[in-house]
Amino acid sequence: HLQGELRQLRDDMTALMQAAVEAGSDAMNEEADNNVVISGERNLLSVTDLSSNMNSLRRLFDMFEQKTGLLQLLDVSSKATGVQIFIGGESQLVPMDDMSIVTAPYEVNGRIVGTLGVIGPTRMAYERVIPIVDITAKLLSSALSQH
């Protein structure tokens, strides 16, 4: 059972790291559009808590399109150290009560250059998501600092 959990954790980290690297390379290729790159949003369609509520999904995708709310959230995240958790309904930065966002800044040679995060239902498995976001941000920082 523990082996299966570790394998799942590794797969989740690999997927998040891949998304982070893709988002990073997309950001390098995009115009200045405030450099918010969103990837993996289609995965939200497979989250039962979310896919059963089309209104929530629609509002979430609107937020992705407008990016202003996300920019505010990412700005706050990039000024903090370590993992930040924004729970819908408790934080004015998360526009929906049934959503939460877990973020962590990443850096190049000690300077914060961005924030990565996971968006999901407020009932997501925080005990799994938090370490994945934390480790992925650290791995991304390390990889970016070496180049």
- pLDDT 10s digit of each residue in the chain, 147 long? 777 777 776 777 667 666 666 665 555 454 444 556 565 666 666 665 655 666 766 776 776 666 666 677 777 777 878 899 988 877 666 767 778 889 999 888 888 888 888 888 888 889 989 998 999 889 888 888 876
- Name the burial class of residue 139, with classes exposed (0-12), middle (13-18) and buried (19+) by CB atoms within 10 angstroms of its CB: middle
pLDDT of residue 31: 47
Interstrand relation of 99-108 and 111-121 (parallel, antiparallel or unpaired): antiparallel
pLDDT of residue 24: 56
pLDDT of residue 83: 93
Termini Cα distance of the chain: 38
What gap in Å lies between CA 98 and CA 115, rounded to an integer? 22
φ/ψ of residue 78, rounded to 5: -70, -15
Identify the CATH number of the domain in which residue 103 sits: 3.30.450.40
* Number of folded domains that form the chain: 1
pLDDT of residue 113: 82
pTM: 0.65
What gap in Å lies between CA 126 and CA 62, rounded to an integer? 25
Query: What range defines the domain where residue 129 resides?
Result: 2-145
The b/e string for 7-34 (b: 16+ C-beta within 10 A; e otherwise) is: eeeeebbeebbebbbebbeeeeeeeeee
